[in-house]
Amino acid sequence: MRFRDEKLGDLERTREVVREWRFANPQGTPEQLLADVGRQFHPDWAPVLRSVLITVDRHHAREVTGHALPGRGCS
């Protein structure tokens, strides 16, 4: 899948799906994420799903440790 084939809301939808999945599966692995929600996305988006999961986890860790940046949402 080429970048220009993406639609404007694809990345935000990906973020929302991954955030919801992580909330429901706090101990889930990237492989489980792909198995559970990967069918909703183009197969070439597997690296994007993994990357968004890393970002979601990093943001959560910053919130827990008190190192979250003020006014910054999860991206």
pLDDT tens-digit readout, 7-18: 778 889 999 999
Q: Give Cα 26 distance to the centre of its chain.
A: 13
**Does 3 score more than 90 pLDDT?**
no
**Does 74 score more than 90 pLDDT?**
no
Q: At 34, which helix (H) or strand (E)?
A: helix 30-37
Q: For the chain, give every domain's residue range.
A: 29-66
> Which amino acid type is present at position 69?
L
16-69 tens-digit pLDDT = 999 999 999 999 999 999 999 999 998 889 999 999 999 999 988 777 777 766
**Does 73 score more than 60 pLDDT?**
no
Residue ranges of E strands in the chain: none
- The pLDDT assigned to 26 comes to 93
Tokens (6 digits) for 49: 């799903």
Output the CA–CA distances (angstroms, integers) from residue 53 to 4, 5, in the order listed. 23, 22
Give the 3-state secondary structure percentages of the chain, helix then strand then coil, rounded to 5.
70, 0, 30
